[in-house]
Structure 1
Amino acid sequence: MAFMTASESTAPGIRLRPEIAALPPYRQGRPAPDDGFKLSSNENPHDPLPGVVEAVAAAASTINRYPDATALALRERLAARFGVTADEVIVGAGSVSLIAQFVLAAAGPGDEVVYSWRSFEAYPGLVTVAGATSVQVPNRPDHGHDLDAMADAITDRTRVVIVCSPNNPTGVIVTADEFEAFMARVPADRLVLLDEAYIEFVTDDEAVDGSTLLGRHPNLVLLRTFSKAYGLAGLRVGYAIGPVAILDAARATAIPLGVTAASSAGALASLEAAAEAELLERVSVIAERRDRLRAGLIAQGWPIPQAQGNFVWLPTGEHTVHVADRLFEASVVARAFPPSGIRISVGEEASVEILLGILGELVPTSQEGHPK
């Protein structure tokens, strides 16, 4: 019997959607050397709390059973926290999976999704998979959202608008006043997703806080995650809060049983008072480290924008690959976005000195506009 090779078994005549065939897959940050620092994925550098590990391990004893498809216990805990009903909360495999669900629920072929650019790199792919069209509105010179321009970009074809605060990868917030003015301009029948994946790291009192807007806008959904501040990136669990009708539409687009029992157990354990207090203390440490790193880079001459997530943004432009390679040679893996810039996650304390050392040798010259 003759067997086909892997390449031969792929039928060349299969008709794939051309826009999907041309879509590059989501790319994770490359791994760091054994003696280096992985600062490419905005992960929390702290080890998981022992109580969280224990809760996840306990959940593993029932992996022969399907999890609760709706993550009811976690939804009830979050609902109590935010003063909403459990039906106004949806839990997914990270906030990015929920964004995908909302886009699928609201936009299809011929429709448009408006968002700032550069912003979260997954947005374009999620829109393409839904069959819709991306409308990317350039960031302001300070690397923040141009909400007036985004409002101007809304047309009869617009179905979804995504606002990311703090913006990933640039770190700039949307202020509460800016967002309120923006919502006043958005038609009430267009879905607005407020992506707050890094809200816990924000120290600017002027930043928008979606939790204060619950119930005020019938077209607004806020999204958050346990991946960053709570250090559960490997468990993939996030949540969204909004009107029941919108959430039900997103539930209809979900892959069933996407949130595991271990994910729910880890999130619930993280919300226990003592655990959460310790986790948020870690967040404060990371925020202070971020501010110190940014201040050091600015003192060197780097034009670092406002940083309110757990990362800083280097606007390296056409020299992005060169600077990223120099960092890698120094055993630091950062996330390069050619030809725009480099996002550097705030990691272990020891990484700060190394970053300042190597980047101090690469400061852009004022005359030539490129790294030394």
Structure 2
Amino acid sequence: MTGEITEATTPSAVGNRTRPARHFELGLSENPFPPLPSVLAALHEQMARANRYPEFLPQRLPRIIADRVGVDPAQVVVGSGATGVAMQIMQAVLGDGETMAFATPTFDGYPIMADMMGVEAVTVPLDRAGRQDLGNLGEVVDDRTGLVVVCRPHNPTGTLVSAADLEVFLSSIPPRVVVILDEAYVEFIDAADAVDVLDLIRRYPNVIVLRTFSKAFGLAGLRIGYAFGGQELVARVRRRQLPFGMSCAAVAAVTASYAAEDELQARVARITAERELLRVALRQNGVHVPRSHANFLYLRGPHIAPALQRAGIVAKFYTDGSARIAVGDPAAGRAVLWALRTM
């Protein structure tokens, strides 16, 4: 495939101990592959009409996504990546003096946007296994809470709350409190671990499911995200839609990506295979790595961040010395193993 990783692309390459000579940017959990050739062709064709404005308010993209997800187009809202849609949700549902709650650490966007909006963030630490503690998260919900975020898989640890625990949690949340079910990495979850989100949004009108085309689809630079839920809740969020806010490239990219589903699934399989082999190799080297259900690994321990920094590897670093690294490129995996070889 054109544009594919060409250096040591087999997963078994993670075991190579040769010192890497390349610089690696692993801090943004990006897909290591460029867009598929068919997607690039669709984008090139669309760019020839870039002198024209996109739709005043997006209509085509919500219809395309709704058809794929299995909901009515009125149940879909789109925006500038999952982050942009999350901001729209926060602006739409949080009233004066209301708070939002989430686990910590989490996706950086949530505390950053809460600070931007002047919203108090109530945080609950992860449990010792790196999982979101839904019991404790539910306990901090009070009369001031307007929004709760649950990531599945969780960012940055890649851990997965069970369907049963999620059900118990949602049943405990007052209907007036909106719950974002952040599924930014849902395409990397095994089918056996997936939850029936259509059933959830039917039974819990306060739940809105958040997804992105940045990760598995490899379109991070195009900033295409979406959410879906009950029509009443989505209508509130849609009122925050920025006119002309979605690029004309979005429809072309999403349409072509959906048409290339088999190729995209093959790429996801390559990334998850590399993830598992790298995790095994790291654990054999004594690094504590929770099982991940995403396209990254969370390396726990006070010496991880310094070791990666000394090797010139860019990762997402945490105050306790832990780090999150994107996976999928075997050469990058070798670099991480080399950096941690004597830790």
* TM-score normalised according to structure 1 size: 0.83
The SS at the match of 1:253 is: coil
Q: C-alpha separation between the residues in 2 aligned to 1:288 and 1:238?
A: 26
2:184 paired with 1:197: yes
Q: In the alignment, which of 285, 295, 306 is matched to residue 270 of structure 2?
A: 285
Cross-structure match for 1:248? 235
Q: CA RMSD in A?
A: 1.8
Unmatched tracts of structure 2, length 5 or more: 1-19
What letter corresponds to residue 52 of structure 1 in structure 2? Answer: V
Q: C-alpha separation between the residues in 2 aligned to 1:215 and 1:325?
A: 46
Greater C-alpha radius of gyration: 1
CA contact (8 A) 1:221 1:241 kept: yes
Cross-structure match for 1:361? 342
Give the number of equivalent residue pairs: 324
2:326 paired with 1:342: no
Q: C-alpha separation between the residues in 2 aligned to 1:127 and 1:246?
A: 20
Q: C-alpha separation between the residues in 1 aligned to 2:46 and 2:192?
A: 38
Q: What percentage of residue pairs aligned between the two structures are identical?
A: 37
1:1-372 alignment runs, 5 A limit: 35-203=22-190, 205-208=192-195, 210-272=197-259, 275-317=260-302, 319=303, 321-328=305-312, 332-339=313-320, 341-362=322-343
Q: C-alpha separation between the residues in 2 aligned to 1:301 and 1:345?
A: 19
What letter corresponds to residue 284 of structure 2 in structure 1? Answer: A
How far 1:204 moved relative to its partner?
7.0
CA contact (8 A) 1:112 1:160 kept: yes
The SS at the match of 1:215 is: helix
CA contact (8 A) 2:57 2:241 kept: no
The SS at the match of 2:190 is: coil
Q: C-alpha separation between the residues in 2 aligned to 1:246 and 1:34?
A: 50
Q: C-alpha separation between the residues in 2 aligned to 1:152 and 1:173?
A: 20
Q: For 1:203-249, what per-residue CA distance to the aligned partner results, in whole angstroms no more than 9, with x for missing partners?
A: 27335453452312110000111100001011110110111221122
CA contact (8 A) 2:57 2:243 kept: no
How far 1:333 moved relative to its partner?
2.0
Q: C-alpha separation between the residues in 2 aligned to 1:284 and 1:357?
A: 25
How far 1:109 moved relative to its partner?
3.6
Q: C-alpha separation between the residues in 2 aligned to 1:263 and 1:236?
A: 8
Q: For 1:284-318, what per-residue CA distance to the aligned partner results, in whole angstroms no more than 9, with x for missing partners?
A: 1101110111111111111111211100001224x
The SS at the match of 1:313 is: strand
What letter corresponds to residue 325 of structure 1 in structure 2? Answer: Q
Unmatched tracts of structure 1, length 5 or more: 1-32, 363-372
CA contact (8 A) 2:160 2:293 kept: yes
The SS at the match of 1:234 is: helix
Q: C-alpha separation between the residues in 2 aligned to 1:233 and 1:136?
A: 27
Q: For 1:87-108, what per-residue CA distance to the aligned partner results, in whole angstroms no more than 9, with x for missing partners?
A: 1011111011111111111114
CA contact (8 A) 2:78 2:224 kept: yes
What letter corresponds to residue 301 of structure 1 in structure 2? Answer: G
Q: C-alpha separation between the residues in 2 aligned to 1:289 and 1:69?
A: 42
What letter corresponds to residue 193 of structure 1 in structure 2? Answer: I
Greater mean alpha carbon deviation, residues 245-254 or residues 91-100: 245-254
Distance 1:327 1:207, change over 3 A: farther
The SS at the match of 1:101 is: helix
What letter corresponds to residue 107 of structure 1 in structure 2? Answer: L
CA contact (8 A) 1:174 1:207 kept: no
CA contact (8 A) 1:93 1:237 kept: yes
CA contact (8 A) 2:94 2:146 kept: yes
CA contact (8 A) 2:105 2:156 kept: yes
What letter corresponds to residue 140 of structure 2 in structure 1? Answer: A
